[in-house]
Amino acid sequence: MLSIAVLSERLSALNAGTGGVYSTADLEVVLERANPSRLTEAIRGLTADGVLLRVRRGLYVDRLHGYRPEIAGWRWVTPCYLSTETALDRHRLCETGILAYTYLTTRLIARRELAVRRLEGREFVYRHIARPLFFGFAAGDDGLLVADPEKAVLDFLYFLYKRQRSVVAVEDVDFSRLHPARYRRHLEAYRQAGFRDYAVSRLPGGAR
């Protein structure tokens, strides 16, 4: 059995590279428990002691050293990427003041209550998007997939166009900071002519 000091040191080192979000495989290495039953027993003990918090089967967050909620949300439902209001705020295209983390996923979410999840007072929102529209994001050094500014705006507009509510108004988004050519290239993937016209009209200079 690892001492508390050694365990804390190992979790701290792992935390730096994972944002404090661990898979069972990560914990197997840290805890040196290759036997599945012994590993499960050790994880249950750390969960009971408040060192770890179970997010879902096979996924835990570090309560001892802290964790990055945006990474926890990203790994909670896969595949997905951070977009819409959260990405707008991240790219400083508008100040949303929204506490929820918003993701787009190709997974069909069977029940409405699973589209909004909560963990320690934080809210995570998942919106379904068709596979042809699952693009326009990149991974940072931490592996987190985040929509680029142009795709974040198009995702935001797309769900507004579909009559989904947002506390962010279109007028609050700074379209002047976008790359028009990239914006138009992304827009080619959307089949609805009405939406394409709507999205182009938001660019400075409109449809010109």
Domain contains 206? no
Pair (185, 128) in one structural domain:
yes
- Structural domain contains residue 187: yes
Say if residue 59 is in the same domain as residue 81: no
Q: How much is the pLDDT for 208?
A: 45
Residue 87, number of CB atoms within 10 A of its CB: 26
- 12 is a domain residue: yes
- Mean pLDDT over 58-70 rounds to 97
Residue 166 falls inside a structural domain = yes
Residues 137 and 180 in one domain: yes
Task: Let me know if residue 123 belongs to a domain.
Answer: yes
pLDDT at 97 over 80: no
pLDDT at residue 160 tops 60: yes
SS (H, E, C) 118-158: EECCEEEEEEECCHHHCCCEEECCCCCEEECHHHHHHHHHH
Domain match, 25 and 108 both: no
* Residue 202 CA: distances (Å) to CA of 25, 86, 88, 133: 46, 20, 15, 19
Question: What is the domain-level CATH number for residue 29?
Answer: 1.10.10
CB 86 within 8 A of CB 102: yes
Which pLDDT does position 110 carry in this prediction?
77
**Alpha carbon of residue 14 to chain centroid:** 20
Inside any domain, residue 207: no
Question: Same domain, yes or no, for 105 and 186?
Answer: yes
Q: What's the pLDDT at 113? A: 78
Q: Supply the pTM of this predicted model.
A: 0.92
Q: State the total domains in the chain.
A: 2
Tally Cβ neighbours within 10 Å of residue 32.
Answer: 13
H or E element: which one contains 191?
A: none
Within a domain: 161: yes
106 and 31 share a domain?
A: no
Q: What average pLDDT score do residues 174-202 get?
A: 96
Segment (H or E) for 145: strand 145-147
> Among the three residues 44, 67, 90, which one is the final residue of a domain in this structure?
67
Q: What pLDDT is recorded for position 206?
A: 62
What H or E segment, with its residue span, contains residue 22? strand 21-23
Whether residues 60 and 153 share a domain: the answer is: no
Query: How confident is the model over 2-34, as pLDDT tens digits?
Result: 788 899 999 999 999 999 999 999 999 999 998
Give pLDDT, residue 136: 98
Average pLDDT of the chain? 93
- Position 141 scores a pLDDT of 85
- Contact criterion met (CB below 8 Å) for 14 and 61: no
Q: What percent of the chain has pLDDT over 70?
A: 98
pLDDT at 1 over 90: no
**90 and 112 Cβ atoms separated by less than 8 Å:** no
Residue at 24 is within a domain: yes
The Cα 41–Cα 163 span in angstroms is 47
Cβ count near 88 (within 10 Å)? 26
Q: pLDDT per residue over 36-50, tens digit each?
A: 999 999 999 999 999
**Structural domain span for residue 62:** 4-67
* Residue 114 backbone zone (phi > 0: left; psi -120 to 50: alpha; other: beta): alpha
Domain boundary among 47, 67, 87: 67
Q: Which of 67, 97, 119 is the last residue of a domain?
A: 67
